[in-house]
Structure 1
Amino acid sequence: MAFQIKFHQIRAFVEVAREGSIRGASRALAVSQPALTKAIKELEEGFPPSCFVRRSQGGGVNRQWRKFYQHASLILEELRAAQDELLQRQGEQAGKLILALAPASPGR
């Protein structure tokens, strides 16, 4: 049976690539660093070579993985758009709405 890529692996890969580090991706996704490292390692075991070029001053997406990064990013964008559309159809607004209120003036 062929290796199956899992959603959490795609999400981990894309976020590490965007943030440039496991630490940054961990904060952005609110996922532990060990969980992200495990997801990346599982992905690399299914499709060698390593996803990232690792250097002491950071790294980047390995040349062989750049096209995968483009596809994976598009997949995540499409999923977000689909989720927003579903929420809008349910009568909910997609995205965030932040309201600020001024304090009431005295005597009113």
Structure 2
Amino acid sequence: MPKMVFIETDGTRREVDAPLGLSILEVARRHDIDLEGACEGSLACSTCHVVVAPEWYDLLPDAQEDEEDMLDLAFGLTKTSRLGCQIRITPELDGLTVKLPGAK
């Protein structure tokens, strides 16, 4: 099973199982990681904003316009910011690393 790493706001690195086909938001919820996702993945908020490690960013599919519009509202936006609800785990993303906004 693929793995992914979350870097939490206090700097803690958590490697977790990331089943194929789940979104980053769904993976976070399965492992009690504090990634809100208030709109349940319907692209109506930016509360599942994550910062993708630069070495992984180019492996992701491009953000669609709706995601980019929501990202404009995100706190702590960076060049590698994405919405966790819009990224699905694939075999190529085994080891994906993301930071929660405000992580050390």
TM-score of the aligned structures, taking structure 1 as reference length: 0.25
Higher Cα Rg: structure 1 or 2?
Answer: 1
Q: Which has the higher contact order (CA 8 A, sep 6+)?
A: 2
TM-score of the aligned structures, taking structure 2 as reference length: 0.26
Q: Which has the higher helix share?
A: 1
